[in-house]
Amino acid sequence: CRAAIPINSDWLKPNCCRAAIPINSDTKARRTMRTLLSLVLGMGLCEAALCKEHSCAAGTKQIAGKEDTDQGNDAAATCCEAAKCSEHTCATGTKPKDGVSDTDQTADPAAVCCVAAKCSEHTCATGTKLKDGVSDTDQTADPAAVCCVAAKCSEFTCAVHTTAITANADEDQTDAPQTKCCEDKKCQDYSCPTGYGATTGQEQAAQTTDPTTACCTVDATKCASHSCAAGTKAKDASAGTDKGATDAEAATNCCEVDATKCASHSCAAGTKAKDNSAGTDKGATDAEAATNCCDALTCAEYEDCKVTEKTIDDGSTAQGSTPATTCCQVDSTVTAVAVEGTAIFVADATMEQARTAVHMMLAELLSVKTVDITVTVNSAAKTTRARRLDVFTHTATFAVHFADFTKATAGHTALTDLTKDAAETSLKTQLVAAGGKDSEDPTWTLTLQAVVDPDSCAAFNCAAGYTMKDGEGATKPATAEACCVVDDTKCLSHNCAVGTKAKAEAAGTDKGATDAEAATNCCEAAKCSEHTCAAGTKAITSKAGEDQTADPAANCCEALKCVDYMCAVGSKAKTSEADKELDSNPAALCCEDDPAVTPVPVTGAATFVAHATTEQAQSAVHEMLAALLSVNTVDVTVTVASEEKMAAAARRLNGHGGVFTHTATFSVHFADKAKASAGHQALTDLTKTDAEAALDTQLKAAGGHLDETDGAWSLTMEALVDENSCEVFQCPLGQKMKNGVGATAPSTVAACCENDPAVTPVAVEGTASFVAMATTAQAQTAVAAMLAELLTAKAVDVTVTVASEAKAATPAAGTRRLADEVFTHNATFAVHFADFTKATAGHKTLTDLVKADAETSLKKHLLAAGGKDSEDPMWAVTLMAVVDPASCAAFTCPVGQKVKDAEAATAQGSTPATTCCEADTTATVVEVKGTMTFTATGTEANVQTAVQSMLSTSLGVPAHDITVTVTAADVPAARRLAEQQFSVEYTVKYATSEAATAGHKTLTDLTPEAAAPVLKTALEEAGVTVPEEFTVVKEEQEPVETSSTTAGATVSGSCETGVAAAAVVALLALHL
């Protein structure tokens, strides 16, 4: 109720408001009211009214779109606008004024927008009529009374099947004049139409709106009783006509085709009448009739394809105007066999009539379709004396095509066995049907050609340059090999000289009597573009259009260079080597590692049976994978194992050797995981049919082919592994793969591995120096790879660091390379083994390694790493002794102690400190002491273990150099009964003051807040339960130096007052 005052005690009602006193007055009362209103509005007891809650005044209307707008202080102005006369409904007896549609209604819309209506504009109700002389009278608010008067029955026109009631002529019509003024006509007054008779007993019945049905009965012998079929209609004036004895007679006597229906329409060629369309309206035009009455014939309904064709029977293709073209396609499974011959006869017929007669005669006699018969006729007038001039001698040449040799042979026999009389009788019938006349002496004579088996050599056409073998006409099946032999007189038998090629289309050309003539007739110069350069070379592009000459390799080809070599995924081209010719190891010459790319392999295995050697199978799979996956062949590796398949001798194909089962193991490398996933999916989705087709193509290119009987391809794909994930990561010795981290990437030792308590690695350490033309990185890579290979160690277990120094050129050498290319490399290495025995064997291998063998191995790995060997590698190696990790020599004694003399080789045993160590009287021990207080649930022993572990980890100090004492005390009664307060005192021993000072600083920098989560983890791992809100109170003392003889003594004493006070404060802080 903005700007309004609540008018009763129910302040929360939004509609209990009245206009407010203006709140901007300066009078005291109004200032008070303004304050009150501010309080009311501030309390949220009133809210703004919206336009949709306002009723606009007469002549105005609500403004569209402002329904949810605040009314404000002037609701009429904010929410309303003038309404137009077009929006006003005039009262009864009035009508809208002309020309005022867009005029504002104002406060009196009836006066502004409306005018009185006249009686001439009023429609009187049923049973009344307009009064005489009132046309120009105003209707007023009751137009029926002012303008209308009751009408009499004498003024009403009764319905056709009723008649006026004479006695009611002067009666008012009322609101039902048909009932008041009229009565039904009787059947006795109705004359039945032709074909009907009056129904007996219905004389007094009402005629109704259908008097023929109500009053009459049809005559069953007349057309009136017959229903014409769809598409026909009753003949004019036929109702009384006798319909006849049958339905057919009735249809003829009573009905005629309805020219407006589809029954009268003839569908065009290629179409047929729609089902049940005879009675459908055909439309006004032929186009409408074709649409309404006809459907297209489909190819499935076409039966006139040739014997060498088959019908497209999909049921959806329309025949159209040329169904033979639209609906028929070549049937590659059928080779037509023709029966050919000639027939001579005399007839009184034109050439076309004679051709048609022979065509139809042959179709009937041989039961073949006319489309499979071709007939040509030559006619000559017969001029014998006394004969008619229109008699001709006709010579018909025909060919009848059959689906196979057997059917053709049967047809040939049928014609051979045809008697002259039978032939002439059939021919006369067909001549008459064609419009001709028979002759007194048709003198039919027939000559047939032999039928040739299309599968035999007799029907085979040898290719150009070949000729038919003698005596092979009946040989089946007909193949080039079985039927044909090279014709020695043709160019096909001539071998063109190097640098030339056979002329196009010259295979069947006579080669001539001499080699010179043959060279001229059969050969022409070959172009460089047609020469295949040998491996390691490429075509010279600029010479593509030049003749090869007698030495095409020299004239057309040049050596491949690094710029032509495609480096494998994971490596990149060396820019500096682009113009160098390829050698036997192009990858090393032209490429270097690409640190930006880690190849991701897709691996799998495929099995198939083929007539192919292992090399052919390997080549085929290699090329097939490269093509299918659109990768370079250098990124595909394939190995094939082959086993001869013991098939029957008949399975062996001449010239292809035996049949082998080939198992191909492959790996395809991609530049990243996404591309590898796509490649893996492509191979997974590869259908057996597509795989076999692609493989067979490559096998044939390699000189073999898939076995026709059981060459089935089967493929097994390994799961795609991310090369950067822990799944393929190798943990170093002493560590093992964490559970459940296989998919973690990137892979690092920290991410993938954890300590393996079952393995204590033993290192073989040493140094080696050598001279080589290699960078420090190349030298480091080479030494690491060399050691891994020599010692059969994993790369992750070999660590190498190299320091390099440029070696000055020796003046006497003369041919030495520049000094800055040659370096002396000093490598420090460590190779880790799983145990002392293996480490000892590795140490011996390096000790026994002769200089020459070491240099040979090093050179190989230097080259692989991209470096070069030097004339004086000067390999020298120095090895450290291998220490047994189970011996005292590998044990670190506690601070203040040393390994006993002569005990280095002794086994540590279960108490290594006792077994291996003794007091070192010369040693200095520096102690750092401290305390911790906290609340937890557990045993003192477990707490001691946890604190010792935490300090050892945090300070990097062996546990045996840390002493921990734990005291447990009950907590206040308000706490859980199982919880105790633990007070911990610890001492950490160091060998030097510097180490102790550093340790002390580490402890003091570890604030209680930072120490709490570290200690909590250690306690929980030791089996101690820690409260959710865990806090620690801690204090450290300054380092104190003692002698080794007193380092282990217990010192007792009393707390200083300040320390006690601090402890009380800490205890209160912990619990409060």
Name the pLDDT band for 722 (thresholds 50, 70, 90).
low
Q: What is the pLDDT of residue 124?
A: 92
User: Per the structure block, which two tokens stand in for 901?
Assistant: 């003399």
Pairing between β-strand 392-402 and β-strand 337-347 as defined by DSSP bridges? antiparallel
Q: What is the pLDDT of residue 1058?
A: 57
pLDDT tens for residues 102-145? 999 888 998 899 999 999 989 999 989 999 998 999 989 899 89
61-to-72, 73, 88, 111, 702 alpha-carbon distances in Å? 17, 18, 11, 18, 92
Q: What is the pLDDT of residue 389?
A: 53
Name the pLDDT band for 48 (thresholds 50, 70, 90).
confident
pLDDT tens for residues 342-366? 989 888 889 999 999 999 999 999 9
Q: How far apart are CA 15 and CA 509, in angstroms?
A: 116
Q: What is the pLDDT of residue 870?
A: 63
pLDDT tens for residues 766-775? 998 988 888 8
In sequence order, what DSSP letters do the residues of 95-134 get, joined into one string? EEPTT-TTSB--S-HHHHHEEEPBGGG--PPTTEEEPTT-
In sequence order, what DSSP letters do the residues of 321-386 get, joined into one string? S-HHHHHEEE-TT---EEEEEEEEEEEBS-HHHHHHHHHHHHHHHHT--GGGEEEEEEEEE---TT
Q: How far apart are CA 307 and CA 372, in angstroms?
A: 7
Q: How far apart are CA 398 and CA 415, in angstroms?
A: 12
User: Per the structure block, which two tokens stand in for 571?
Assistant: 């490596």
pLDDT tens for residues 1021-1052? 989 999 988 999 999 999 888 765 444 433 33
pLDDT tens for residues 845-903? 988 888 888 888 888 888 888 887 666 667 778 777 777 777 787 788 898 888 887 66
Q: What is the pLDDT of residue 865?
A: 85
In contact, 602 and 596? CB cutoff 8 Å: no
Q: How far apart are CA 411 and CA 451, in angstroms?
A: 10
pLDDT tens for residues 364-398? 999 999 999 999 999 988 765 444 557 888 999 99
In contact, 589 and 582? CB cutoff 8 Å: yes
Q: What is the pLDDT of residue 729?
A: 79
Q: What is the pLDDT of residue 873?
A: 65
Q: How many CA atoms lie within 13 A of 40 on its CB side?
A: 25
Name the pLDDT band for 38 (thresholds 50, 70, 90).
low
Report for 440-454, 652-666, 740-754, 1004-1018: range of highest mean pLDDT: 1004-1018
Q: What is the pLDDT of residue 24?
A: 46
**pLDDT higher than threshold 70 for residue 1057:** no
Q: What is the pLDDT of residue 383?
A: 64
**pLDDT higher than threshold 80 for residue 203:** yes
pLDDT tens for residues 264-312? 999 988 889 999 999 999 999 999 999 999 998 888 888 889 999 988 8
Nearest 10 degrees: Cα torsion 521, 523, 527, 531: 170
Average pLDDT, the chain: 84
Give 665's strand partners: 605, 639
**pLDDT higher than threshold 50 for residue 814:** no
Cα angle: 240, vertex 242, 246; to 5 degrees = 140
pLDDT tens for residues 817-828? 444 578 888 999
Instruction: Using alpha carbons, select from 914, 956, 936, 949 the residue that is nearest to residue 1021.
Output: 949
Q: How far apart are CA 324 and CA 675, in angstroms?
A: 51
User: Per the structure block, which two tokens stand in for 532?
Assistant: 């295949």
